[in-house]
Structures are given as C-alpha cells and as structure tokens.
Amino acid sequence: MRMIKGPGIFLAQFTADAAPFNSFDAICEWAASLGYEGIQIPSWDGRLFDLSKASESQDYADEVTGIAAGHGLSITELSTHLQGQLVAVHPAYDAAFDGFAVPEVRDNPKARTEWAVDQVRRAIRASRRLGLTAQATFSGALAWPYVYPWPQRPAGLVEAAFDELARRWQPILDYAEEHGVDLAYEIHPGEDLHDGVSYEMFLERVNGHTRANLLYDPSHFVLQQLDYLDYIDIYHQRIKAFHVKDAEFNPTGRQGVYGGFQSWVDRAGRFRSLGDGQVDFGAIFSKLTQYDYGSWAVMEWECALKHPEQGAREGAEFIKRNIIRVTEKAFDDFAGSGTDDRMNRKMLGIF
C-alpha cells in the first residue's frame, strides 16, 4: 500500500487582487506557511498561471515548478473546472456561463466551446510539461435542466445528450491518452456527470476510455444523500484525484435536498470547513489507503460560515491527522512461529 500525499490545497477560492493572493510566488509562500505540501492550480487565473505559455514552453513550466519547490511545495494537478464546464453548455445557461470565457468568444456558443476545448487540451500539454499525471475538470452539462423534469422527458432526450457529451469529449480523452494524463471529472451537481450512474452512462459511450477518470469529493454526495463510502468500493480504480471538502445535510419539515431556493447559509445541505460537517473522513482515508490511492489529498475550501483563511489554517492540520502511515508489518507478527514449508505441510497433514 502507498501513503496518500498531502496536505494539498486548491488555490481557486483564495486568489484575490491583494497580496499574498495575487501572485504565484506569494500565494505559494502563504500556503507553505500553513503547512501545505501541495497546490492545485486553477489554470484560468492569470494572476497565478499562464496556461498558454505553460502549454508551449518547457522553460516556463520549469519556472513554475521551481517557484513552488522553492517553498517546499509540489504541484498536485492543474484544474480546468471552468473550461471543462464550457465544453458542453445548455442554452439556458449561456448567459450565466459566458463569464467563464474570454471576452472574444462571449455571446457565441460555438466559438466558446471551441475555446474551451483548446483550453483543456492546452492544460493537458501543460500537465505533461509540469510532470503531472492527472487534470481536475468538469464534464459540462446538456441534460442537467431535465434532471427532475415536469412535464416528463420525451423518449431519447437523455440518451441524445450523453451521446453528444461523449462525442465532444472523446477526442479530448484521446489527446489525454497521447500525453499520459488522466482527466479526473469531479462528479458534481450541475454537471451531467453528477453521480455514479451518470458517470457510467458517459463511460459506456466513450468505450470505457482509460483516461475518463474521477475526482472524488464526498461533500457533493452528502448533499445528494449518496453513499460516499460505497462509491469508493465501486469506483476506486478510477479515482485519480481527491478533494477533501466537508458538508452537512440537516433536512427539516420545510426543506430537503433542493433547498427551497435558499442561500447557502439557510440550506438544509451546505458545505462546511473541514471537521465542521458530517463527512466521515476517517473512513474515507482508510478506504482510499486500503485501495492503494497514492495521489494527493487536496483541501477545497467552501463554507457558508467560516472565513477562508481560518478554514485554510485548520485544513492543513486536519488532513495531516487523517493521512495514514501505511504499515510495513502485520499487527500479529509478534506471534509468528517461524514456520517453513515443511512445518506448513505437517500442520495440514500433507506428507
């Protein structure tokens, strides 16, 4: 068995225009000062990272790696959550998601999709230059508006949506295969890949592609009331990245999973800072260790109550406490009798 790496931190929720959150060197120094050993980089944030340059220049990629290493940090993954989202957008969300793209392709869904595909491909190339083996991303969504439909869905609607989703991602997955990089889809409400069944529908359509893998984040499963431990048993071979994020679900007589259009503070299901929610991380780290997950445990901070800097400080120590130092011996080795093949055969009555 391998030890899980960590603690790591996803930088997306911390970047800002004020120091130390407005430059790569400064935010690395801040993360290291809190005890983090890895950083997941939001590839779209130009304050920290130039994706275009990283995809083309080994010198720039080495510079980024060197800055992180100078603070005792490793880069865990690049994130293309925003660009992956734009690979597939239902027209109902065009206006809302246009802000994820560069101004030149807004109000032009076709051009926006082409830009998003190019961005994910660039991140694949950049990942290889950075020596990374996985990229964190979203699938995008065409069928999501119909997840709980009224009136009922017409026959074939979901199938057509997943056929198209697979058609868009297949060449990207093939490109990832060429570069030795796994795409780790975060299974997330709002995405067509939002639970195990929908992931399997997609996986079937991309012919079980070896690069169509998973980012495991139990918080989204708490909010869906999905068994996040059984999920590991089912999909552990596909889990290539791990967001350590907490959540709680406290239904009342007034609201449940859907939240009644309330703010995050007032929802029955809400994200929390590590240790403040209901996720059983002891069981999660045990299962991932059991299944030989040897990549990073990366804190993603999203909490409706706690300040992000407090969440970041507490998160590093929380992950450290949960990482299991794998044993090199059996607990009952002390009772070993030093038997050999001859003794074994004698004990079995084999002569």
What would the pLDDT profile of 193-218 be if each residue is shown by its tens digit? 999 999 999 999 999 999 999 999 99
Whether the pLDDT of residue 256 is over 90: the answer is: yes
Q: What mean pLDDT do residues 183-201 have?
A: 98
Q: How far is CA 59 from CA 45, 130, 145, 234, in A?
A: 20, 10, 44, 41
Cα separation of 209 and 148, whole Å?
28
Whether the pLDDT of residue 301 is over 70: the answer is: yes
Q: What mean pLDDT do residues 34-49 have?
A: 98
* b/e sequence 96-110, b meaning 16+ C-beta within 10 Å: ebbebbeeebbeebe
Fold of the 5-348 domain: TIM Barrel (3.20.20)
Whole-structure pTM value = 0.95
Instruction: Parse the chain into domains and list their residue ranges.
Output: 5-348
Cα separation of 30 and 9, whole Å?
11
Query: Given this model, what pLDDT does residue 334 score?
Result: 62
Query: Given this model, what pLDDT does residue 342 score?
Result: 86
Q: Whole-number mean pLDDT of the chain?
A: 96
pLDDT per residue as tens digits for the range 17-31: 999 999 999 999 999
Confidence of residue 333 (pLDDT cuts 50, 70, 90): low
Query: Given this model, what pLDDT does residue 343 score?
Result: 85
Output phi, psi for 255, to 5 deg.
-155, 160
Whether the pLDDT of residue 96 is over 90: the answer is: yes
* b/e sequence 111-144, b meaning 16+ C-beta within 10 Å: ebbebbbebbbbbbbbbbbbebebbbbbbbbbbb
Confidence of residue 346 (pLDDT cuts 50, 70, 90): confident
Whether the pLDDT of residue 230 is over 80: the answer is: yes
Token couple for 297? 């445990």
Token couple for 347? 């004990």
Token couple for 273? 């800072």
Query: Given this model, what pLDDT does residue 331 score?
Result: 65
Between 167 and 328, whose confidence is greater? 167
